[in-house]
Amino acid sequence: MSSTGQTPDSDELARAAEQIEAPLASLVGDYEERDTHNSPRAKGIFLLPNLFTSGALFCGFYAIIAGMQGDFYAGAVAILVAMIFDGLDGRVARLTGTSSAFGAQYDSLSDMVSFGLAPALLTFNWALTGLGKVGWVAAFIYAACAALRLARFNAQMQNDDTTHFTGLASPAAAASVATLVWMSQTHGWSGPALDWVHALSLTALGFLMISRFPYSSFKSVSFDRRVPFVRMLLVVAVVA
């Protein structure tokens, strides 16, 4: 027995424990950096934005299930609700000073489900099954472009320009898809022609996400300065 009272077996167990704890430590490292006193309150504040992200993820997952069960209206609404959660998580993180790399990556994975897979699968089950290969290819193009868009956003996260996005944001694309499904379901729109509209819309929105076109992030919008009347009228017309 060594002077420290440890046997070779206990040394091996200690090393094994360190190997197990290392990945967990890296996962919760952000918690420890912001919680030097290990207070439950600080951890709760850090978890708050991730709860909103989890809400968005749940909505996206539910939209997929709803589409598989034929409840397309509920699926479309779930995607729109996911947008609300997605818009809140980042703002809550900034307000509470709990922004982290972990939260950013978790948000990106949630976006892939809620704004990449969910809109593609919901539209496929709603209108594209009758188009054969064309239908699932259109759905795949949208999902793949959403993944590429999110990957590019993560790679450019350190970009100093926060007033514009490169390519259509995935939540905006998903909102367009969900709104079209919702309106089709509400007004009873159907038919082969509309099926092709859905397929072309998915494809076009997918390519817009990976395009190089700049889109405003609306972070530079100020309510303190005057806005030209014509510009405001155009915004109202587009929203209407």
Q: What is the CATH number of the domain that holds 176?
A: 1.20.120.1760
**Percentage of the chain modeled with pLDDT above 90:** 50
Check whether 3 has a pLDDT greater than 50.
no
Confidence class for position 227, pLDDT limits 50, 70, 90: very low
> Can you tell me the mean pLDDT for 61-67?
98
pTM of the model: 0.72
44 shares its domain with 10 = no
Higher pLDDT, 224 or 118: 118
Pair (6, 81) in one structural domain: no
- Quick one: pLDDT at residue 35? 44
Average pLDDT taken over every residue of the chain: 80
Indicate whether 25 and 50 sit together in one domain: no
Q: Are residues 2 and 114 in the same domain?
A: no
Q: Mean pLDDT, to the nearest integer, of 44-64? A: 89
Residues 87 and 137 in one domain: yes
Are 44 and 18 part of one and the same domain?
no
Q: Are residues 134 and 186 in the same domain?
A: yes
Same domain membership, residue 94 and residue 119:
yes
60 vs 159: CA distance, rounded Å: 28
Please report the pLDDT score of residue 220 as a whole number.
Answer: 47
Same structural domain, 82 and 142:
yes
Q: Same domain, yes or no, for 68 and 120?
A: yes
Share of the chain above pLDDT 70, in %: 68
- Residues 22, 104 within the same domain: no
What's the total number of domains in the chain?
Answer: 2
The verdict on 83 and 98 lying in the same domain is yes
For residue 160, give its domain range. Answer: 35-239
Lowest mean pLDDT among 30-44, 54-68, 79-93: 30-44
